Amino acid sequence: MIPATILQELNEPMSLTSAQVDFFKENGFIKIKHVFSKAVIDFIDEVVSAEVTRLNTQHLSMEDRDTYGKAFLQIMNIWRNSEEVKQVVFSKRLAKIAADLLQVEGVRLYHDQALYKEPSGGHTPWHADQYYWPLSTDRTITAWIPLQETPFELGPLEFSSGSFQLTEGRDKEISDESQNFLEAKLKELGFNHVVEPFGLGEISFHMGWLYHRAGPNVTDKMRKVMTMIYMDKDMELKAPENKNQQLDWITWCPGAVIGEVVNSPINPVLYSSN
């Protein structure tokens, strides 16, 4: 049973300032402090970590993994396995923030994913998430929710400010190649690299085409992060442009039709203003 105070905080609206919306529009990301209290973060940590432990299938030693495998343990659509996690993923507070930042009437869920960077886990290369998504517009956004204070040593998320405007590199999946190409290109074009620690309860939101990365976890503790990916509630499916988008269509948008709204049973509307 989820405590009523936790449910209330998960679903109580949080208003953004016009300055915050403008910052996101210009930079393609924003970090917002005090979105949740310590009690809510601790609750999310408890229920998500239990499912990550239960569902994790990664058993290779760190030295036997590729760069992607070293970056994090990745467990997706946890909400379908746990009623408690479902209440977190369906948080109206987070969904409304996502809609307000995207300046759309509402958002639906694309999918959730836990990203747990193990002790001695490697860096996450530069990439843009939307390379993987068969979605027709750029009205997509990810909420990145650290489940602990996240200093530099744990590998906080880093952003290339304004880089959602860059179209070069959009054909690259997360890899050593994406890291090398984008590291050089973003520096060459003068995009501002933003890397800062995250406080407890601080959550970032970034656009699907914003380039971002994370450093290694050089501590002996797990870096625990829960994420939710949202899209405009009127988002249409586009014809896949690579094998990853084809797989995402089958996996995260089952039954969706190209050219029609992605209205599958696992892509519910989580917030709508009308």
| Structure-token pair, residue 266 | 């696992």
| Structure-token pair, residue 183 | 């590291």
What is the reported pTM?
A: 0.94
Domains annotated for the chain, with CATH where assigned, are 4-254 (2.60.120.620)
Query: What pLDDT is recorded for position 192?
Result: 97
Going by pLDDT thresholds of 50, 70 and 90, the confidence category of residue 132 is: very high
Least confident of 23-27, 174-178, 233-237, 243-247: 174-178
What are the strands, taking DSSP E only, across 117-242? Answer: 124-127, 140-146, 157-161, 192-195, 203-207, 212-214, 225-232
- Asked whether the beta carbons of 182 and 172 are under 8 A apart, the reply is yes
Percent of the chain scoring above 70 in pLDDT: 94
| N residues, the chain | 274
Is 206 exposed, middle or buried (CB count within 10 Å of its CB: 0-12, 13-18, 19+)?
buried
Mean pLDDT over the full length of the chain: 94
The DSSP output letter for 228 is: E
Tokens 């405009």 found at: 232
Query: What pLDDT is recorded for position 67?
Result: 61
Per-residue pLDDT for 25 more than 90? yes
- Asked whether the beta carbons of 268 and 166 are under 8 A apart, the reply is no
Query: What pLDDT is recorded for position 69?
Result: 56
- 180-211 pLDDT per residue, tens: 999 999 999 999 999 999 999 999 999 999 99
The DSSP output letter for 79 is: G
C-alpha count within 13 angstroms, C-beta hemisphere, residue 59: 3
Per-residue pLDDT for 248 more than 90? yes
